[in-house]
Amino acid sequence: MDRNSTGPLSPEAAKERLRSVADSMGPVSWIREKPRESIGMALVAGLLAGKTSKSNEILANTLISLLLNTSR
Protein backbone atom coordinates (compact mmCIF):
# COMPACT_ATOMS: atom_id res chain seq x y z
CA MET A 1 0.00 0.00 0.00
CA ASP A 2 1.42 3.31 -1.07
CA ARG A 3 0.02 5.73 1.44
CA ASN A 4 1.53 8.67 3.19
CA SER A 5 2.02 7.60 6.76
CA THR A 6 1.57 10.79 8.74
CA GLY A 7 0.71 9.28 12.08
CA PRO A 8 -2.57 9.24 13.95
CA LEU A 9 -4.96 12.12 13.43
CA SER A 10 -6.63 14.13 16.12
CA PRO A 11 -10.40 13.62 16.35
CA GLU A 12 -11.01 17.06 14.81
CA ALA A 13 -8.66 16.38 11.89
CA ALA A 14 -10.21 12.95 11.32
CA LYS A 15 -13.71 14.46 11.27
CA GLU A 16 -12.59 17.12 8.79
CA ARG A 17 -11.01 14.51 6.51
CA LEU A 18 -14.16 12.39 6.67
CA ARG A 19 -16.36 15.38 5.84
CA SER A 20 -14.20 16.34 2.85
CA VAL A 21 -14.35 12.81 1.45
CA ALA A 22 -18.09 12.54 2.10
CA ASP A 23 -18.71 15.84 0.29
CA SER A 24 -16.97 14.56 -2.83
CA MET A 25 -19.21 11.48 -3.06
CA GLY A 26 -22.83 11.07 -4.00
CA PRO A 27 -25.12 12.51 -6.63
CA VAL A 28 -24.76 16.16 -5.60
CA SER A 29 -21.05 16.30 -6.36
CA TRP A 30 -21.58 14.43 -9.65
CA ILE A 31 -24.28 16.93 -10.67
CA ARG A 32 -21.97 19.83 -9.84
CA GLU A 33 -19.15 18.29 -11.88
CA LYS A 34 -21.32 17.35 -14.87
CA PRO A 35 -24.32 19.70 -15.06
CA ARG A 36 -25.08 19.13 -18.75
CA GLU A 37 -25.03 15.35 -18.45
CA SER A 38 -27.26 15.45 -15.39
CA ILE A 39 -29.81 17.68 -17.14
CA GLY A 40 -29.83 15.35 -20.14
CA MET A 41 -30.25 12.30 -17.97
CA ALA A 42 -33.08 13.92 -16.04
CA LEU A 43 -34.83 14.89 -19.27
CA VAL A 44 -34.56 11.43 -20.82
CA ALA A 45 -35.50 9.69 -17.60
CA GLY A 46 -38.48 12.00 -17.15
CA LEU A 47 -39.72 11.37 -20.66
CA LEU A 48 -39.36 7.63 -20.33
CA ALA A 49 -40.77 7.42 -16.82
CA GLY A 50 -43.70 9.65 -17.77
CA LYS A 51 -45.17 6.84 -19.81
CA THR A 52 -47.53 4.52 -18.00
CA SER A 53 -46.19 1.18 -19.15
CA LYS A 54 -43.90 -0.85 -16.89
CA SER A 55 -41.41 -1.53 -19.70
CA ASN A 56 -40.65 2.17 -20.09
CA GLU A 57 -39.97 2.46 -16.38
CA ILE A 58 -37.55 -0.46 -16.54
CA LEU A 59 -35.88 1.10 -19.59
CA ALA A 60 -35.52 4.45 -17.80
CA ASN A 61 -33.97 2.84 -14.72
CA THR A 62 -31.57 0.82 -16.86
CA LEU A 63 -30.58 3.90 -18.86
CA ILE A 64 -29.91 5.91 -15.72
CA SER A 65 -27.77 3.17 -14.20
CA LEU A 66 -25.77 2.79 -17.43
CA LEU A 67 -25.21 6.53 -17.76
CA LEU A 68 -24.11 6.84 -14.15
CA ASN A 69 -21.62 4.01 -14.55
CA THR A 70 -20.11 5.14 -17.86
CA SER A 71 -19.83 8.90 -17.47
CA ARG A 72 -17.64 9.02 -14.36
**pLDDT tens-place string over residues 3-46:** 665 778 888 988 998 888 887 777 777 788 888 988 888 888 77
- Ranges 1-5, 47-51, 63-67, most confident: 63-67
User: Which residues have a Cβ under 8 Å from the Cβ of 44 and sit 6 or more positions away?
Assistant: 60, 63
Angle between helical axes of 54-70 and 35-49 (0-180°, round to 10): 170
Per-residue pLDDT at 71: 52
Which runs of consecutive H residues, i.e. helices, occur in the chain? 11-23, 27-33, 35-49, 54-70
Evaluate if residue 70 carries a pLDDT over 70: no
Q: How many CB atoms lie within 10 A of CB 10?
A: 8
Q: How confident is the model at residue 1 (pLDDT cuts 50, 70, 90)?
A: very low
The pTM assigned to this predicted structure is 0.43
